[in-house]
Structure 1
Amino acid sequence: MKSYDKKVLDLSMEAGRILLDAGAEIFRVEETIERISRAFGIEKCSPFVMSTGIFLTAENEEGEIYASVKHIPIQGAKLYRVAAVNQLSREIVEGKYTLEEAEERLEIIKNMPGKRPLVRILSAGLGSGSFCYLLGGKFTDMFAAFLSGVLLYAILALIDKREKKTSKIVVNCIGGFCVSLFAVLFYRLGLGNAPGKILVGSVMPLVPGVSLVNAVRDFAEGNYIGGGVRFLDALMVALGISLGVGLMYILYYRLTGGIIL
């Protein structure tokens, strides 16, 4: 296959890989690969995307075949990268980029940093306090949920810095344990009157909302395998959170001989 055609298909594959790694829906990944390939002159392009991998075959005008397979483990959502690749693909179709310029732009998107840890920590606190308010919590409950969310994401940020990657189930189990522990501690310290509302508010940053929505969208598009995998992933996250919360309250009951909720 010609060097130019191979570069086009490598670019399309890399764009799809970034999207899938960032938590994009399967139909979005397939459309983006096809859109970029056709914009640069590759008409016969057949991407097959699953939740954890991309299979791409294509044929140029001379009948030469291109085939590539990439394995992409399920990761957390990175919506800023999804938006950036979407915008790039549309600008490619409009003819705003040459192949070399598109490669440079995609490399920039691939290395885009996420939000700083401090921003994520404060956002988790604000989200926790807001959900606590929506559940009927008072100001002291909101403040306790805010502190719980801040402490939760501070701990998760420390775990994320570990050289060896921690299992997603373990991370969510630790998160569920911590938020329930913080809810009990703040309640016992007199900061808040509704430990249940504090707990539910502060656990919201852990809830896999994006994965669940994407699973439903994949189901709606007929991608039942992909939707099922994403739904199972969201279910495993919820299981990890539940195990952490349940473990903490079992320990609390064993140590104090009473229940709090």
Structure 2
Amino acid sequence: MKNNFIYLLIFSLVVITVAEMIGFQFIPIGSFTLTLLPLVFAIILTMVLGIQFLRKGILKKVYSKENVSFSSKYLIFIMLPLMARYGADVAPKLEEILSIGWVFIIQELGNLGTVLIGLPIAILLGLRREAIGATLGIGREGELAYISEKYTLESKEGRGVLSIYIIGTLFGAIFFSLFAPILLSLGFDVRALAMASGVGSGSMMTAASSTLVATVPEMESTILAYASASQLLTSFLGTFTMVFLAAPLQQVMYKLMVRSDDKWNNQKQSTNM
């Protein structure tokens, strides 16, 4: 385990160095300009090098089960300094943030979008109990903890939330780093996009806000303050929204849609017979 961890540490430093050397990349696509962060390249490198047939020699030791388990278990400790940074970014703009505080609170209702939009799509795709875990939220630590406590991660609900957690970890930062500048090019206010960056995921928030800063560098302090405040609020209020609003709404919608879907399937089978 100790030797494998040393390989993991060295590998991480090498990937970070390569990603920083690549730096910010701006790709013009028509009237849009996509901004790719070093974070995106770091994720892509670790994904590519983790492909099964490439995991030989040192890479096999880097991607050992012990290292993968260690990384997922102690990820929260890596995020703690980032949370402290959020607080430091919010403080200088606190008065401005408080003046529009109601907007941040209203934004939390957006957490219901995964249920209102995601659950019907999941049911149509054929998911059942897995949809409970997959659509309760964006599959970050809060949803993971709630589902694991209520259903266990070995349940169908647990498999659903774990799938979204993994997908979000692999592709979330990439998606947000591309999506934020596209919306900015379409005319959305940079402050609104900065607020929308705080979705409850540190990596996704960092990716979105960093691309906004790269596009509008003169508003760096405002973007980081709004994004950090939104992230902190989502981490706090988002838990209550999930437990008291999203989860009950999801249960009601799930029962109604599954019952209707099963009834429609039975009628279809009867017609075919």
TM-score, with structure 1 as normaliser:
0.28
Greater share of residues in strand: 1
Structure with greater Cα Rg: 1
* TM-score, normalised relative to structure 2: 0.27
* Structure (1 or 2) with the greater helix fraction: 2
